[in-house]
Amino acid sequence: MKILVPIKRVPDPATTIRVLPDGSGIATDNVKWVINPFDEIAIEEALRIKEKQAGSEVVLVTIGQSTWQEQLRTGLAMGADRAILVKNDGYLDPLALAKIIAKVAAGENADLVLLGKQAIDDDSNQVGQMLAELLGWPQATFASKVEFADKRVTVIREVDGGLETIAFNLPAVVTTDLRLNEPRYASLPGIMKARKKELKEVAAESLGLDLAPKLKIKSLTAPPKRQAGRKVASVEELVSVLHTEAKVI
């Protein structure tokens, strides 16, 4: 089985994010970059599938600048077999990203595309669904458990009302949720081996795709600072404040 795992480079969740004064984006100086946590879960699940199914291959792909090699090397150190960097310096919306991943998946003859349900920087939760539509493959989103029997996959997914179990044949697209697994740390031998693993670079413009964004970000603003709380003298005053000022009742 060949498993393609798209990953995204995002700011470390512990990093303090500052919005640029003109609202065009975030300040990237002194920001630590990591693999999107949901994509780390996808890498871990792909590696577990590989360990159970002999002869499987895990291929990472990311779309961005040359510096994104760092996150690919981290994934290779975890145990992935090789990686592909689709180089692009400009902004790409979710549809453009899905088009590129679909092109790579077709070129790799992938049996399964396994990716995080969303990225923590924009929380769009769109690429996996768009990818499945472009490929014409079945999909399972928000997976909390994945099981295989030959070329058939059974996925337990988290929905508003509880859990839902669906099954379909490969090839397919599966997006991962938080409770699917706990990603492993890269070992020292894994880090050493990652330096010698294949990392292929491909120019995005060479893929022959229309990558013009259909979605544009007009501006970014930081959330307002939280106002200090205040004490009230009685329940009656609390109800009055909630009614007249907060307007929640």
**Tens of pLDDT, residues 109-149:** 999 999 999 998 888 899 999 999 999 999 999 999 999 88
Pairing between β-strand 139-149 and β-strand 152-159 as defined by DSSP bridges: antiparallel
Q: What is the reported pLDDT for 240?
A: 87
Residue 111: partners with Cβ closer than 8 Å, 6 or more residues away: 1, 2, 3, 151, 170, 171
If we measure between CA atoms, which residue out of 36, 217, 14 comes closest to residue 120? Answer: 36
Residue 41: partners with Cβ closer than 8 Å, 6 or more residues away: 116, 176, 177, 178, 180, 181, 183
Contact (CB, 8 A) for 109 and 2:
yes
Give the ranges where the chain is alpha helix by DSSP (H).
37-52, 69-78, 94-108, 127-135, 188-194, 235-244
pLDDT, average across residues 34-53: 95
CATH classification of 2-223 is 3.10.580.10, yes or no? no
User: In what order do the strands lie in the sheet containing 57-64?
Assistant: 162-169, 152-159, 139-149, 172-176, 112-116, 2-6, 57-64, 82-87, 199-203
**Tens of pLDDT, residues 45-61:** 999 999 998 899 999 99
Contact (CB, 8 A) for 152 and 170:
yes
**Tens of pLDDT, residues 201-244:** 999 999 999 998 888 888 888 888 888 888 888 998 888 888 88
- What's the start-to-end Cα distance of the chain, in Å? 56
pLDDT, average across residues 92-105: 95
Q: What is the reported pLDDT for 151?
A: 84
Give the ranges where 85-162 is alpha helix by DSSP (H).
94-108, 127-135
Give, for 200, the enclosing helix (H) or strand (E): strand 199-203
**Tens of pLDDT, residues 186-212:** 889 899 999 999 999 999 999 999 998
Domain borders along the chain are 2-223
> Does the pLDDT of residue 13 top 90, yes or no?
no
Q: What is the reported pLDDT for 160?
A: 87
> Does the pLDDT of residue 30 top 90, yes or no?
no
Q: How far is CA 6 from the centre of its chain?
A: 7
* φ and ψ at residue 218, rounded to 5 degrees: -80, -45
3-state class of 228 per DSSP?
Answer: coil
Contact (CB, 8 A) for 98 and 127:
yes
